[in-house]
Structure 1
Amino acid sequence: MVEERPVASVRLVGVLPHLDRPFEYAVTPATAAAGPGMRVRVRFSGRDTEGIVLERRDTPTTDRPLAALSRLVSDDVVVPPALMRACEDVAARCAGTVGDVLRLALPPRHARAEKADRAAEEKERAAAEEPTAPEPAAEAETGGDPGEDAGAAADPSAAAPPRPGDRYPGLAALLARAGRPDGPVPRATLTLDPAESWTVLAADAIEDLDPSRGALVIAPDQRDVARMSRLLTARGVAHEVLAGTEGPEKRYRTFRRILRGTTRVVLGNRSAAFAPVRDLALVICWDEADDLLVEPRAPYPHTRTVLQCRSAEERCALLFLGASPSIALHSLVEAGYLARLDPLPAPVHAVRPRIVAMDQYLRDREGPSGRSRLPQEAMRVLRRGLERGPVLVQVPRTGYAPAIACTFCGTRARCPQCAAPLSQAGRGGPLHCTVCGRREDGYRCPECDRTHVRAMVIGSARTAEELHRALPDAPLKVAGGAHGALADEDVPEGAIVVSTPGAEPAPPDRYAACLLLDADAALGRAAFDADVEAIRRWRNAIALVRTGDEGGEVLVVGTATLPAIRDLVAHRSGAFLDRVLADRRELDLPPYTRVAEIVGDRDACRGFLDTVELPDGTAVFGPVDLEGPDAGDRARAVVRIDPARSRDLAAALRAGVAARSARKARGSLRVRLDPPDVF
């Protein structure tokens, strides 16, 4: 074995950027079993380093003597060839290193978990080889006509009930082509109506696949993964859950079961995007626009990018599901990469709740109370909903009063020590700093020297306090923030659930009503995509409410004339999205430009921009010094280019980072492509 192919090409994990390339090592008799995709240990720069074998060769490409492979960590093929190509593509798209991507893709090896799983594998193999006795034929039941069953099976009225996917004619075509080695790879995006559950649609799609093919389902939140897992378990579909919250031993044992193909259906969040599913045919991603799907570690890939690379390399079908249209996916539809699956027409009240905004008529009808944060119409919706089931109240911020301002001049209250915002933890409680923890008992406004303050933003805790005073007999639950998550089964019947966006529990029978409070505050967030993100969060909450035919209703408390709120009330209207895209095209904002952010020490940031060879047509903004208590001596620059040349920009930034690493330049520097919070 060693004499045949004595040279191993190895990709090192976690090395410096300028060393991110394959290296050749000599295969020893002890490592003769090393093959492509296996983990090995090598000596590199005087250290014991982990690597992945790319291939075995007969001759080296250099005349220098080769160092030997230190040892073969495991004979498991942890990175199949198609997955390795996908990792290389992710690194090229994100201006990162393949070693960093491999570090994201591979969980740390756990020897005890591997030993236990090998023993389980041997038992499974032995049980499969044992002959099994034939099962006795089932006796026919007496007392009935055998023709009755056949007639019932042939009766059209006894057909299976309609499924959510039946409303989307293109979905059946996508599943029919999933996993085919020839022809185009099907990729699509689908926006669900509130009445349709994404878990039911995904489970139906998995059951429609060939049992020999694999499926991967990605959701941003672990609770979404748990809901999907419960549904598949109830249907008897074998699956694995690969979650980042598991311990090292359990995670690696799950990873190895996936690797050897024990089950071909895998669920998980961001960390499961690289799961080595055997014979992968279908990838489903729920709520792609959620910022939880952005990797916080280098090279900061979005899960969408990872799944696109895997779809290209493994030829698996790709399906994005969401309750709200995504700007990024819309741009991929315009480019012809994705197909948009539209539903068949249906009555509005049959597919979503009744949605009303506090317009001028409702406010004038109430008088002065109509302009309050909790108008009488909101209380009427609450009381009607509590008669039929639980009610959801969504507020944009957690805490009691997270933002405080002077009552007289409106100046925001900040900590005199670190300049962070001051907040109030409870009714009549003292002001305190959210960063350094300083307690400010004798606060005076720096502008007018007054001592009276008011709440600029009302949080979930104070909202719950106000609702408890108004409806003391109704059970009250708070989800999100310091209160933590609330399990779906812990929502009492006839209860009020006050939640922040993303923390809403999903009771089995759904909510009877929903209040979306402080809509203007959600739209006033200091971000260029605040309106799109607010709609996404609102629609995710609306998806938990019963339909209009079942009495479900939603009230949006905000300025009803704002385009975002008007789009929320309208049903499947593309006017708002078209307006947003037109504005972004005119202002050269994503997705019509490719943007990169360079953040680091002031000298390092400026030196990088002076030395990197950016493509022609690249616009550079900055660098500018960062502000704030944690800014320090740091600066930030933004570069952007036409999307058609995004590969050139990524290659230039990647080369610049590698050159800086080779020079051992001082200072820290971070390069991110398409950061969600760039503007």
Structure 2
Amino acid sequence: MRSGGGAPALSTSAAAAAGEPQEEQASLFAAPAAAVPETAPHDPGRDAAARGRGLRTTAGFDVVRELPVASVRLVGVLPHLDRPFEYAVTPETAEAGPGMRVRVRFSGRDTEGLVLDRLAEPTTDRALAPLRRLVSTDVVVPPAMMRVCEDVAARSGGTVGDVLRLALPPRHARAEKADRAAADKEQAQEQGTAAEVPDAAAEETAPETSESQESQEPQESQESPQSQEPPEPGPRPGDRYVGLAALLYRAGDPSGPVPRAALTLDAGDPWTVVTADALADLDDGQGALVIAPDQRDVARLSRVLTARGLAHEVLAGTEGPEKRYRTFRRVLRGATRIVLGNRSAAFAPVRDLALVICVDESDDLLEEPRAPYPHVRTVLQCRSREERCALLFLSASDSVPLRALADAGYLARLDPLPAPVTSVRPHIVAMDQYLRDREGASGRSRLPQEAMRVIRRGLTRGPILVQVPRSGYVPAIACTFCGTRAQCPHCAAQLSITGRGGHLHCRVCGRREDGYRCPECDRTQVRAMVIGSTRTAEELSRAFPAVTLLVSGGAHGALEDSEVPDDAIVVATPGAEPSPPDRFAAALLLDADAMLGRAAFDADVEAVRRWRNAIALVRSADQGGEVLVVGTATLPAIRDLVAHRSGAFLDRVLEDRRDLDLPPFGRVAEIIGDKEACRSFLETTDLPDGSEVFGPVDLEGPDAAGRARAVVRLDPHRSRELADALRAGVAARSARKAHGSLRVRLDPPDVF
């Protein structure tokens, strides 16, 4: 007999005893909290009927009658096994539905999986193993999110299982239990409030006595009409950008094209304020996701939203597993509509997602270091496509990938309305030839007199920011005569000096090198190639002994925004600059030539991005803000800082990359691994026609013995072909159990 309204179970030997018609799949999940389904008695006489129906299982368990087959996607399996597998649904796992976590037996061990679908008939003639356990009834991966993961895997040339491992935080049973209790409590409170509403409404509609009416009339007459009118809102920074209001108006609209745009902010417009205004303009019930590079950026935006009374959740990778999973469940059940986070929050399951905002997408913190190495930009593009949510990129400088997407018509560029330059940015000056000649010998120094004058003027109005490229004291040295970098003779790492009067030592193996000789010219004298933040602070402390001097970044750690006094000098490395509430009065950008001399093909674009992020922390020229760039003023990157909203620099960069077939005008893949593994992978993988293969070449370095690197380049319009070919090659290598380690990445940031 049936003990309740649940679906009856079917024995493994009687899988389809009477050929009863199957109900539709939707009916199975209409009431997932139904009673536990009753199992049918084991009847060996019905084995023939079960085989005729096509359902074969291993022995020792029962299966349910309705939709007894579950299609499961395994998490973190080998590449050649990245496909759905079918399992039999037992009475204990009858509630398993699409998007729920389950445990299955695979390759002799318990493996985590996600249910894709429930089927009435298997698609294979093999015997099905059972679902061992239903981990949770939470739908952690809705169908739209599963499509996003599949799209990200296809674009990155990886496996869906690896993408799911990035998207799902580890389950924490205690956090799940606590959040379930909190959800039940909230639901009970809502039901109690709803029950009190009729009584309150009855009291409001009850007839009032004449005395109460008389007592209310004078009060209504005494109220002035001006006090009832809300104050008119003042101008907002985001209102200056043409098209932003239209994008927010169309956010979440299921009809029509999906709005996507890139917005380059002026230095005087705080990104936190523009983002908060955009979130406040969304309709009630619409979800939003904001991704920022650093946890400090997330905290800054969180403080602004808290001050405005906008409820939100912070989903960050720095939180503990319990707190992170509890936040994940709150987002999953729709307890809040606004989610903030860094790279790990790109897959946050926001309910009714209407708007996604990515801040400073060119920051290297948004590059995923785990396979299949997708960039946050790629993940958000896939979510915008599958969930039809508006996509907005905010940054302080133009980005090469975003400019290419805008030129291709994928993104709209939101330019600001004309405004006085002095009101939207500080006064920016570069140490040109005139200033250097005017100062004489001091003009060629690292800290010219003009820099000292900028600091003295700025200290009368507020704190000063000094940005240097590297942390430490003297992080890199070279031969005085020939300029060869000083390297450790033991491990080939760079030699450095840790403090004043210190000795040469290696930062990797700790070797002290007292008798260093240049391997090129055999000389012993060395000079500093780059001056670190500690050495810079020491030099400024001698020039300004009565001023508070702080160091941010490196071994000193990042300085908090509230720790910056009004009369302080802050020496910071790129990305570690604090953001005081009233901004900096002035800023010095030191060693600009060293920042541009980084060994990377995008060193100039990256330097401009870091400089503009520092300039955005300085007050406008109307408020006395000024910036001095100490470097070669004739370089295009430095000239771009002085010019206001000029696209000449980025146009030149794009033209050069187009001529050289560099990204984004060429899809590039990097293969790194053991020499033999790299060579055999290139020989056995069927690459698309027209692919250019460079290498493999031996890697250099102390840990690169026996390893090689190869680069494959193809036209970007055929990028999906390259991704499919690489994924097939990795899967074939995994199926052969080939020896040696190998890593394949598409569009790595440091490929050239």
2:276 to 203, 206, 227: 203
Kindly indicate whether residue 77 of structure 2 is the aligned counterpart of residue 77 of structure 1. no
Aligned residue for 2:131, secondary structure, equals coil
**Distance change >3 Å, CA 128–CA 520, structure 1 → 2:** same
Counterparts of residues 486-525 of structure 1 (less than 5 Å):
486-525=559-598
Larger radius of gyration: 2
What's the CA shift for 1:443?
2.4
**Other-structure match for 1:528:** 601
**Other-structure match for 1:393:** 466
Deviation string, structure 1 residues 452-502 (Cα, Å, up to 9, x no partner): 322111011000000000001110000000110100000011100000000
Distance 1:609 1:322 in 2: 39
Distance 1:674 1:223 in 2: 27
1:471 to 536, 541, 544: 544
**Other-structure match for 2:225:** 148
Kindly indicate whether residue 645 of structure 2 is the aligned counterpart of residue 568 of structure 1. no
1:369 to 417, 421, 442: 442
Kindly indicate whether residue 390 of structure 2 is the aligned counterpart of residue 313 of structure 1. no
Deviation string, structure 1 residues 629-651 (Cα, Å, up to 9, x no partner): 12111000001111100000000
Q: Which amino acid aligns with 1:167?
A: R
What's the CA shift for 1:444?
2.9
Counterparts of residues 255-404 of structure 1 (less than 5 Å):
255-404=328-477
Distance 2:403 2:672 in 1: 29
Q: Which amino acid aligns with 1:149?
A: Q
Q: Which amino acid aligns with 1:557?
A: V
What's the CA shift for 1:63?
1.6
Distance 2:132 2:615 in 1: 57
What's the CA shift for 1:251?
0.5
Distance 2:453 2:294 in 1: 33
Counterparts of residues 579-618 of structure 1 (less than 5 Å):
579-618=652-691
**Other-structure match for 2:10:** none
Kindly indicate whether residue 184 of structure 2 is the aligned counterpart of residue 111 of structure 1. no
What's the CA shift for 1:624?
0.4
Q: How many residue pairs are counted as aligned between the two chains?
A: 675
Q: Which amino acid aligns with 1:618?
A: S
Q: Which amino acid aligns with 1:398?
A: S
Distance 1:512 1:531 in 2: 26
Q: Which amino acid aligns with 1:528?
A: F
The one of the two structures with greater contact order (alpha-carbon pairs below 8 A, sep at least 6) is: 1
1:159 to 214, 232, 239: 232
What's the CA shift for 1:144?
8.0
Kindly indicate whether residue 705 of structure 2 is the aligned counterpart of residue 665 of structure 1. no
**Other-structure match for 2:509:** 436
Distance 2:559 2:178 in 1: 35
1:120 to 171, 179, 182: 182
Distance 1:358 1:132 in 2: 71
Distance 2:746 2:216 in 1: 66
Kindly indicate whether residue 105 of structure 2 is the aligned counterpart of residue 32 of structure 1. no
2:309 to 236, 251, 255: 236
Distance 2:171 2:85 in 1: 22
Q: Which amino acid aligns with 1:669?
A: L
Moved more, 312-321 or 117-126: 117-126
**Other-structure match for 1:9:** 71
**Distance change >3 Å, CA 229–CA 139, structure 1 → 2:** farther
Q: Which amino acid aligns with 1:188?
A: A
Distance 2:135 2:420 in 1: 60
2:530 to 457, 467, 477: 457
Distance 1:450 1:126 in 2: 80
TM-score, normalising length: structure 1? 0.98
Distance 2:409 2:220 in 1: 60
2:116 to 26, 42, 54: 54
Q: Which amino acid aligns with 1:127?
A: Q
Aligned residue for 1:271, secondary structure, equals helix
**Other-structure match for 2:487:** 414
Distance 2:568 2:243 in 1: 40
Aligned residue for 1:632, secondary structure, equals coil
What's the CA shift for 1:142?
5.4
Aligned residue for 2:655, secondary structure, equals helix
Distance 1:140 1:289 in 2: 62
Kindly indicate whether residue 164 of structure 2 is the aligned counterpart of residue 87 of structure 1. no
Aligned residue for 1:671, secondary structure, equals strand
**Other-structure match for 2:613:** 540
Moved more, 622-631 or 9-18: 622-631
Distance 1:392 1:144 in 2: 57
Q: Which amino acid aligns with 2:83?
A: R
What's the CA shift for 1:141?
9.7
What's the CA shift for 1:404?
1.4
Distance 1:437 1:536 in 2: 34
Deviation string, structure 1 residues 215-271 (Cα, Å, up to 9, x no partner): 000000000000011111111111100000011111101101100010010000000
Distance 1:367 1:610 in 2: 62
What's the CA shift for 1:151?
8.0
What's the CA shift for 1:628?
1.2
Distance 1:262 1:373 in 2: 54
Aligned residue for 1:440, secondary structure, equals coil
Distance 1:314 1:52 in 2: 20
Moved more, 541-550 or 414-423: 414-423
Distance 1:605 1:141 in 2: 89
1:222 to 295, 299, 306: 295
2:725 to 652, 656, 678: 652
Q: Which runs of 5+ in 2 are unaligned?
A: 1-6, 8-63, 205-214
**Distance change >3 Å, CA 34–CA 554, structure 1 → 2:** same
Instruction: Using the aligned pairs only, state the percent identity.
Output: 78
Q: Which amino acid aligns with 1:197?
A: P
Distance 1:207 1:4 in 2: 46
Deviation string, structure 1 residues 131-157 (Cα, Å, up to 9, x no partner): 34649999899598534326855xxxx
Moved more, 656-665 or 134-143: 134-143
Aligned residue for 1:609, secondary structure, equals helix
What's the CA shift for 1:446?
3.2
**Distance change >3 Å, CA 670–CA 140, structure 1 → 2:** farther
Distance 1:528 1:446 in 2: 28
Q: Which amino acid aligns with 2:654?
A: L
